[in-house]
Amino acid sequence: MRGRPKLYTSYIAEAQLFPTRVQKILVVVGIIVLVLMPFDLPVINQIPIVRFLGDNIWLRLVNRMLIFTIAALGLNILSGLAGQVSLGHAFFMGSGAYTAVLVGGKGSANLWGWGLPIWIWLPASGVVAALVGIAVAPAAVRVRGLYLGIATLGLVFIGLHLSRVFPEIAGPGALGRKWPRMQFRLWKEEDPLVDFSRDGDWLWFEASKNQKTYLLLLALTVIAAVVAANIARTRTGRAFSAIRERDVAAEIMGVPEFRYKTMAFAISSFYAGVAGALLAVLAGQVPPESWGLLLSIQFIAILLIGGIGRVSGALLGTFFVVLSPRFIEEVIDWMKEQVDHGGILAGVFDILISTGDGDGGILAISETALGYPLPASALDELVYGLLIVVFLLFEPMGLYGIWVKVRNYWKGWPFSY
Amino acid sequence: MTGATMILAATGLDTFVHTVIKSLALGSLYALLALGFVLIFKATQTVNFAQGALALAGTWFLSMIFMDWNVPGRWVGGPGWLHWFVALLLAALATAGFGLVIERLAIRPMIGEPIFSMAVITLGLEVMIRTVAFDAVNVTPRVLGVPWGTETFMIGGAFIAWSYIAAIAMAAVAFVGVWLFFKTRTGVAMRATAFDQEAALAQGINVGRIFAIAWAVGAMLAAISGVFSSMPPWGPAGMASRDGAFFAFRALPAVILGGLDSAVGALVGGLLIGFAEIFAGQYLAGHTGILGVGYQQVVPYVVMLIGLLVKPYGLFGTEEVRRV
C-alpha cells in the first residue's frame, strides 16, 4: 500500500494516532527540537520561530503556555469531545491550585499547609479537582446547553466566595498566599533532589530555572496530549462523541448518559486541577480573584480559536492566545521605534500611537496610562475579544480549519477540488 | 449593601419593613436586567453575555450626555429632574443604536450557527466593550447626577431610600411597556419568531428586523438597568464604575431561575433572588463567622443551582422537547 496513505487495510491502521511515516518522523523531530529548544544549540538556534522562543525572556511565557495547554486539553475533552459547555473551568483550576498549596505549602499559625513533596501534591491536586467535578456532575447532567453554561458560571462565583470563607487555605490578603516551589523531594528533607526553581548545575550541564521548568512542563504536556488523544479513540471517547451529537440518541443506543457525562467532568477537572496547581506554582503567589470568569473565557477562546474538538486545535489555540499579547507589545514597541527614528511607515504609526498629551493616536505607550488613548494592556484584551468574534464569524473551525483548507488546497493543486 | 441608608430603627417590624422594600427594590433591579436577557433570548435564542458591558456603556453615555455636555439643559429650561430623565432616554437610545450596530456586525451573520457559538460571540463582545468602557470610567469618576441622590424618607421607623422607590417604579414601567409591546403587531411577530424562525419567515415576518429590534430594546433595558444599579445603595454614590459591568452577571441567576425565555419568569425570578439575597443578608448576619464576609452575594447562585436541580428549565421556561 505504499504511496496511498489514506488506504486502510485494517482497523488498527485506521485508529493510529500518526498514520503515515512522514507524520511519525515529523513528530519525533518536533519533540527533539522542542526538548533542545532552550539550550542555545548551533543548528536548532537557527530555526526561525524556535530561535527567539528559546530565549530566556520568552521561555517563561512558553512555560505558561504549556500549562495553559494542559488545561485547554482538559476543557477540550469536556466541551469539544463530550459537547458540554462549561464556563467553570477556572473553578476547577482553582480547586487544584488550593489543594496543591494545602498539601505542599508551608503551614504557619494561621495558614494550613502540610509541606509534602511534589509527587504527592501534583497528583493530589488533579484527584481533588476530579472529585469536585464528580460532585458537581449530578447537577450538571440535569441541565443542558446554555443553562449548563450559566450554572457552571455560578460555580466560579461560589468558588471565589469559598476562598473568602477559608482564609486558612487561600491566605488572608488580596495578594494570596505563597505556593510551594517547584522542587522535587523524596520526603521533607532540607535539600531537594531536583530544584526546578533555581539556576545551577544539573547533571553535567548548566541550566537556568526556566530551562529546567520548561523540560518538566514539556514532559507533562506531552503526556497530557497523548492521553487526551488516546481517550478520543477509545470506547469512552466514542461514547463522549455520541453524547455530543445527540444525548437522547446515545442513550437509546446503550450509552449511559449520566455515567459518561460524569466521567467527562472528572477527566476534564483532573486536567484543570493539575494545570491550576502548576500555574499557581509557576507564579509563586496568586490572588483568589485570578481564578475568575476571565480565565474561563480564555480557555473557551483557546478552543474556539484553535479549533474545537481536536488535540492539535487546543495546542494551536494556546500558542496563539497566550503568546499574542506579547507579540502585540513587541509590535507596538517596534512601531514606536519606527516613529522615533523616522522609518518608512513612521507617518502611519504616528497616527496610531500617542506619545504624549494632545497626540491624536489611539494607543498609549506607557503601561500605566488610563483612559483614552488605550494602554497596551487594554489593547491585549481588546484584541483577544476581537479574535473570538472574528474567528467565530469567519472561521468557526479555528486555526485547525485554516490548516485543513490550506492542506486540501495543496493536495488538489492545480485542481480546485 | 451598605450605604447612607443603614437601618437605624430599633423595632423588629421596622427592620422587616425596611428589608422587604430593600428586597423589592433589588428584585426589581434584577428583574429589569433579566428582562433584557430574556427579550434578546426570546428573539434570537442567544444569551447576551455582553449585557453587563452594555449597561456600563449606557451609564457612561448618560454621564457624558447629562454631566459633560449638559444636554438638554443647555437648550431648554425647566426642572433638573426632567432634564435627567430626558438625558436617560437619550443615553438609552444611544445604547440601543450601539446594540443595533453590534447585531448587524456580529450577530446577524451567525443566524443558523450553533447557539453556543452565538453565545461565545457575545462573550467576546463583552470583553471588548468592557475593556474600552473600563478605560473610559477609570480616568475620572463619572458622576451620573441622579436627581434624588442619597435622600431617604421614613415609613414608621424605617429609613427608605428614594432610589428603592425609583427602581421599583422603573421596573414596573419597563414590564408594563414590554407587556404592551408584545400585544402590538411587531410584538406578535417577535413571539412568532421566538416560537419558530422558519415558520415565521414563511408567514412573511422579517426575522432579521425582529433580531434588530430585540437587540435595540435589550440594549436600552441594559442601559437603564445599568444606570439604576449605579445608584447609591447598590453602586458607589451614583457614579459609573467598573462594578457596573459585573452587576449584570448577578442577574443571571434570576434569568435562569425564571426560565430563559419567559418575561414573567424574569419578574418572578428577579424578585425571588432579590428577596433571598436581602433576607439572607439581614437575618443570617449573625452567622457571618461561618458563612464568610459577603456571603449574601453568593446566595443568588446557590438558589439558582437548587432551582435548576428541581426544574432544569427554570420556573417558567419552556421545556425542550427531546427527540432523537
- A45 is written with which cell numbers? 538556534
Residue A296: pLDDT above 70? yes
In chain A, the number of structural domains is 2
Residues B226-243: tens digit of each pLDDT: 888 888 777 666 666 666
Q: What is the pLDDT of residue B157?
A: 74
Q: Are residues A251 and A345 in the same domain?
A: no
- Would you say residue A299 lies in a domain? no
| Distances in whole angstroms, Cα of residue B122 to Cα of each of B46, B51, B115 | 9, 9, 11
d(CA B138, CA B63): 13
d(CA B215, CA B122): 12
Average pLDDT, chain B: 84
Do the Cβ atoms of B253 and A375 come within 8 Å? no
Q: Are residues A351 and A224 in the same domain?
A: no
Please check whether residue A7 touches B, CB under 8 A.
no
Q: Are residues A180 and A119 in the same domain?
A: yes
The alpha-carbon radius of gyration of chain A (Å, integer) is 23
> Facing residues of A354 across strands?
A364
Average pLDDT, chain A: 84
Q: What is the pLDDT of residue B174?
A: 93
Q: Are residues A274 and A152 in the same domain?
A: yes
Shortest Cα distance from B309 to chain A (angstroms)?
A: 6
- Would you say residue A325 lies in a domain? yes
- Would you say residue A302 lies in a domain? no
Residues B89-132: tens digit of each pLDDT: 999 999 999 999 999 998 888 877 777 788 888 988 988 888 88
| Distances in whole angstroms, Cα of residue A363 to Cα of each of A161, A368, A382 | 36, 12, 12
**In chain B, where the domains are located:** 12-252
Q: Are residues A209 and A121 in the same domain?
A: yes
CA dihedral over A90, A85, A272, A210, signed as positive or negative: negative
Where is the domain boundary, A262, A291, A320?
Answer: A291
d(CA B295, CA A293): 18
ipTM of the complex: 0.85
Q: Are residues A194 and A250 in the same domain?
A: yes
Q: Are residues A280 and A413 in the same domain?
A: no
Q: What is the pLDDT of residue B7?
A: 44
Length of chain B equals 324
| Residue tagged 469531545 (cell numbers) | A81
Do the Cβ atoms of B128 and A382 come within 8 Å? yes
What lies within 8 Å, CB to CB, of A256 at 6+ separation is: none
- Would you say residue A8 lies in a domain? no
Q: Are residues A85 and A225 in the same domain?
A: yes
Q: Are residues A48 and A140 in the same domain?
A: yes
- Would you say residue A36 lies in a domain? no
- pTM over 0.90, yes/no: no
> Facing residues of B158 across strands?
B155
- Here the CATH number for the domain that contains residue A85 is 1.10.3470
Please check whether residue A347 touches B, CB under 8 A.
no
Among B115, B127, B253, beta carbon nearest to A385 = B127
Q: B1 falls in which pLDDT band (50, 70, 90)? A: very low
Do the Cβ atoms of B135 and A301 come within 8 Å? no
Do the Cβ atoms of A150 and B309 come within 8 Å? no
B-chain CB neighbours of A384 within 8 Å are: 127
Q: Are residues A147 and A258 in the same domain?
A: yes
Q: How many other CB atoms sit within 10 Å of the CB of residue B290? A: 9
Residues A314-336: tens digit of each pLDDT: 999 998 888 887 777 777 777 77
B-chain CB neighbours of A392 within 8 Å are: 110, 113, 117, 120-121, 124
Q: Which residue from B291, B301, B267, B195 is spatially nearest to A154, judged by alpha carbons? A: B301
- Would you say residue A337 lies in a domain? yes
Do the Cβ atoms of A385 and B124 come within 8 Å? yes
Q: Which residue of A has its CA nearest to B129?
A: A382
A-chain CB neighbours of B319 within 8 Å are: none
CA dihedral over B295, B297, B301, B302, signed as positive or negative: positive
| For range A146-167, the mean pLDDT | 87
Q: Are residues A98 and A244 in the same domain?
A: yes
Phi, psi of A202 (to 5 degrees): -145, 115
What lies within 8 Å, CB to CB, of B288 at 6+ separation is: B295
Domain that holds residue A320: 310-417
Do the Cβ atoms of B135 and A161 come within 8 Å? no
Residues A360-392: tens digit of each pLDDT: 555 655 544 455 566 666 777 788 788 888 888
Phi, psi of A33 (to 5 degrees): -60, -45
3-state secondary structure chain B: CCCCCCCCCCCHHHHHHHHHHHHHHHHHHHHHHHHHHHHHHHHHCCCCCCHHHHHHHHHHHHHHHHHHCCCCCCCCCCCHHHHHHHHHHHHHHHHHHHHHHHHHHHHHHHCCCCHHHHHHHHHHHHHHHHHHHHHHHHCCCEECCCCCCCCEEEECCEEEEHHHHHHHHHHHHHHHHHHHHHHCHHHHHHHHHHHCHHHHHHCCCCHHHHHHHHHHHHHHHHHHHHHHHCCCCCCCCCEECCHHHHHHHHHHHHHHHHCCCCHHHHHHHHHHHHHHHHHHHHHCHHHHHHHCCCHHHCHHHHHHHHHHHHCCCCCCCCCCCCCC
Q: Are residues A125 and A48 in the same domain?
A: yes
Shortest Cα distance from A20 to chain B (angstroms)?
A: 34
d(CA B275, CA B1): 13
